Structure 1
Amino acid sequence: MLNIADTLYDWCRAARPFALATVVQVSGSAPLPPGTALAVDADGTVVGSISGGCVEGAVYELCRQVLEDGGAPARARFGYSDDDAFAVGLTCGGEIDVLVQRVEPADGTRLTAVLEAVALGRPAAVAQIVDGPQRLLGRTLRVFGDTGAHDGSLGSEQADRTVAAQAHALLRAGRAGRIEVGGDADSCPERLSVLIHASAPRPRMLIFGAVDFAAALSRAGNLLGYRVTVCDARPVFATPARFPHADEVVVDWPHRYLEHTDVDARTAVCVLTHDTKFDIPLLRLALGLPVGYIGAMGSRRTHDHRLDLLREAGVPETRLALLHSPIGLDLGAHTPEETAVSITAEIIAHANRGSGLPLSRGTGPIHRHRTAGSPASGTSAAPAHV
């Protein structure tokens, strides 16, 4: 639901009842992941998408029905049917399960605080019961990552504590997920399937080297939802005017900046300086950090020389194997803009364990569930939103 957090926040503040349709499970190839939502208010206004257009009309009508009936949540499954070319279904061949529930003004009021946190970019999550006893379907627990607090109830204190702990773990990893809880005396007597909608801060892209390629890459990184930093030790080149798409431009020695800034498993480190006095101390440090991606620009000869220097600096082979160099996929890129596409394509493929090959040469589903290193898992293209 956090893919439409801004609109839901406005509706909740205005005490407007609405129907919320949430993708709760995906089988096979489907266009959007679990947690993606569509909502319809009493005036018929619709926001969001759950299938990229395939089944939106049917889900819209189901939302209108739930709003008018004011009854219990409804479940629906949409898949592909060869029997009827005009049947509502997914043209991609997969299946999705959708939960539709009516959100009353009182329920919306309880959601307001967590939706506001999401709008302000603070880590927050909504845990939603998507399978279990009918009377509990749609119940939510709100979890605030910056304070460690949670409110709401999923039916028992044990379940609340268990789910809140799982939600905090997912927020730290920057991703959403579906978990199973209950069925035992220690957590909750009733078995529950809970979908955790998580909104973590944007992942970081650290670009070292204030060059033309960095300007194009900062723009591409911004488009993908990264919080982009450009860092260079030369103040004449590291200026905000040269990098309008970067969130911040830092004048400092690259390794010194990296040593004192925050990184995590979603951080992408892109070294574009190809100057040993910058590269070696920077990469020596970066290869020892728990970041998601490390790439360095340069020719193959530069790469081989760089590896020799890093070995001399004491970097073990197991860490050197983490370095993507020469940076980027082989797209035949020449311009800074083409090179930026090459680099971001490699980052996406690495985060999602993609092959980097043309889809026409592969087999099996083309849609994959995002991993913790992916940017977007949603919201503001923000990763970790669903």
Structure 2
Amino acid sequence: MLDIAEGLNRWVGQGRDFAVATVVAVGGSAPRDPGAALAVDSEGTVIGSVSGGCVEGAVYALCQQALADGRSVLERFGYSDEDAFAVGLTCGGVLDVLVTPVRADSPARGVLAAALSAAARGGGVALARITRGPRELLGRALLVDREGAYEGGFGVHPELDRTAAAEARALLEGGRTGTVVIGADGSRCGQPLTLFVESSAPPPRMIVFGAMDFAAALVRAGTFLGYRVTVCDARPVFATEARFPDADEIVIDWPHRYLASTETDGRTVLCVLTHDARFDVPLLEVALRLPVAFVGAMGSRRTHEDRERRLREIGVTEGELARLHSPIGLDLGARTPEETALSIAAEIVASRRGGTGASLTGAHTPIHHDGVRVFPEGPVGSFA
């Protein structure tokens, strides 16, 4: 539900009662990822989506029912279910949707309101909710920040809250949303618990090295994909706001020196477009040793071979070289800066999501590869 935090936070500020439906697990070719949410207020106003249209009508009715009776419900929609087929989930996937009333008398309203407020401000928080376990615990929530401090809890044992907070913080550090299972021993309630953890983190970074025309197009593509984009070049005559109006930040510095000093993480994407060994080699020596998501470099195959030779000479290992995407981009037959940016963006998405880059026409590969597409087994039903 944190994906619609801004709208829900406004509703909280206005004192509205509402119910929010969140996709907490998926299987097969489901249309939306875990965390997708739809909310309905007491006047019937809707924001968000859980399925891109497939089951919205049924979920809308569940939200209205939750608002009326104050009860949460976990419902499964799947192709094999006659009712689910009737409401339109014909893609062959399965969705588990948690519907939670957020009324003035809802016990979890305070924790959920704090999560929505923090996410709407762009803060880094993770919201953990119980989706499977003892009937009386389902839907209880705990909120964790980047430092590991938490509020709310499950009301079972402090050790369970601490364990859940540590697991949620680990997902938050990677900017990931997913499912965590705590075994019967750790749950302190005699049976395993399944937690759904939503992370709200600042946008991932894309750092583009080399202030050239191709970089300007890539900046626009990166912004479109939701990255916070930095352009870095040692030449102030090229690295200007006028040339890169869509960049979030422009840095004039030697690329390797800037990369060694700036903050990166496991979601950061590095695109080396400098196309000059003076910049590329020292920069890639630093980049290939950082725990980032993607490192790519532009150049012809001859340039790539020369670059690899130079990197080996300064001690870059074969394992480190294997992380390098070069020449950067997928084979789209690109010619213009915009087409090239599209090919680079496509490779980044494929790399991050586990795609092959092959055409889906006639293919038998999965359409969705995302590792957080978890579908736990077990009964699904209403709970108080």
Question: Which residue does 1:54 correspond to in 2?
Answer: 54
Query: What is the Cα deviation at residue 190 of structure 1?
Result: 4.3
Correspondences of 1:166-315 after superposition (within 5 Å): 166-184=167-185, 187-315=188-316
Contact residue 141 and residue 153 of structure 2 kept, 8 A: yes
Counterpart residue number, 1:2: 2
CA distance in 1, matches of 2:240, 2:148: 38
Q: Residue in 2 aligned with 1:376?
A: none
Deviates more, 1:325-334 or 1:107-116: 107-116
Paired amino acid for 1:35: G
Q: Give the C-alpha shift of residue 91 in structure 1.
A: 1.9
CA contact (8 A) 2:23 2:33 kept: yes
1:32 match: 32
- Superposition deviation, residue 324 in structure 1: 0.9
Equivalent residue letter for 2:18: F
Distance 2:81 2:130 in 1: 33
Instruction: Tell whether the 8 Å contact from 1:159 to 1:182 is kept in structure 2 after alignment.
Output: no
- CA drift of 1:118 comes to 1.4
Mapped contact 1:22–1:37 kept (Cα < 8 A): yes
TM-score between both structures, scaled by the size of structure 2: 0.92
Q: Matches of 2:302 and 2:20 in 1, distance apart?
A: 56
Amino acid across the alignment from 1:255 = H
CA contact (8 A) 1:12 1:108 kept: no
Local SS of the residue matching 1:184: helix
Mapped to 2, the partners of 1:243 and 1:208 lie a distance apart of: 12
Instruction: Output the amino acid matched with 1:94.
Output: G
In 2, Cα distance between the equivalents of 1:148 and 1:74? 29
C-alpha displacement of 1:363: 1.2
One-letter amino acid of the counterpart of residue 4, structure 2: I
Contact in 2 for aligned 1:29/1:366 (Cα 8 Å) = yes
Q: What does the per-residue CA deviation read over 1:166-188, in whole Å, with 9 as the maximum and x for residues that have no partner? A: 01111111101111225226744
Q: Do the aligned partners of 1:12 and 1:105 also contact (CA within 8 Å) in 2?
A: no
CA distance in 2, matches of 1:316, 1:144: 37
TM-superposed CA distance for 1:360, in Å, is 1.6
Opposite residue 210 of structure 1, the aligned amino acid is A
User: C-alpha displacement at 1:155, in angstroms?
Assistant: 2.2
Aligned CA distance change for structure 1 residues 78 and 254 (closer, same or farther; 3 Å): same
1:189 CA displacement: 3.4
The one-letter code sitting in structure 2 at the alignment partner of 1:19 is A
Q: Tell me what 1:43 maps to.
A: 43
Once residues 254 and 188 of structure 1 are traced to their aligned partners in structure 2, the CA distance between those partners, rounded to angstroms, is 53
| Aligned residue runs from structure 1 range 344-355, under 5 A | 344-355=345-356
Q: Distance in 2 between matches of 1:353 and 1:314?
A: 29
Change (3 A) 1:305 1:177: same
Structure 2 contact 354–370 (Cα < 8 Å) conserved: no
Identity %: 60
Alignment-mate amino acid for residue 10 of structure 1: R
SS of equivalent residue, structure 1 residue 329? coil
* 1:113-164 residue CA offsets vs partner (Å, 9 max, x unmatched): 322221222210111111222222211101111x421000112212211110
Shift of 1:370: 4.5
- Residue aligned with 1:53, SS: coil
- Cα distance in 1, alignment partners of residues 90 and 10 from structure 2: 33
Question: After the TM superposition, which of the residue ranges 152-161 and 211-220 deviates more from structure 2?
Answer: 152-161
What's the CA shift string for 1:251-281, capped at 9, x where partnerless?
A: 0010110010011111111010111111111
Deviation of 1:29 (Å): 0.9
Q: Which residue in the other structure is 1:327 paired with?
A: 328
The change in CA–CA distance for 1:315 and 1:224 in structure 2 (over 3 A counts) is same
Structure 1 distance, partners of 2:298, 2:310, is 15
Moved more, 363-372 or 86-95: 363-372
Q: In structure 2, do the counterparts of structure 1 residues 158 and 89 end up closer, same or farther at CA, with 3 Å as the change threshold?
A: farther
Question: Residues 247 and 185 of structure 1: is their aligned pair in 2 closer, same or farther, counting only changes over 3 Å?
Answer: closer
d(CA) in 2 for partners of 1:343, 1:201: 23
Long gaps (5+) in structure 2? 374-384
Q: Which moved more, 1:88-97 or 1:336-345?
A: 88-97
Amino acid at match of 1:44: G
Match of residue 111 from structure 1: 112
The list of structure 1 runs, each at least 4 consecutive aligned residues, that deviate by more than 6 angstroms after superposition, is: 82-86
Bigger mean CA offset, 34-43 vs 331-340: 34-43
The unaligned stretches of length 5 or more in structure 1 are 373-386
Kindly state the Cα deviation for residue 15 of structure 1 after the two structures are TM-superposed: 2.3
Which amino acid letter does the alignment assign opposite residue 51 of structure 1? S
Is contact 1:352-1:371 (8 Å) kept? no
- SS at structure 1 position matched to 2:329: coil
Q: Secondary structure at the match of 2:184?
A: coil
Q: How far apart, CA to CA, are the structure 2 residues paired with 1:262 and 1:99? A: 36
The amino acid of 2:109's aligned partner reads G
Q: Give TM-score, length-normalised by structure 1.
A: 0.91
AA paired with 1:197? E
* Residue identity opposite 1:245 in structure 2: D
Alpha-carbon offset, residue 82 of structure 1? 9.1
CA contact (8 A) 2:140 2:154 kept: yes
> How far is the alpha carbon of 1:371 from its aligned partner?
6.1
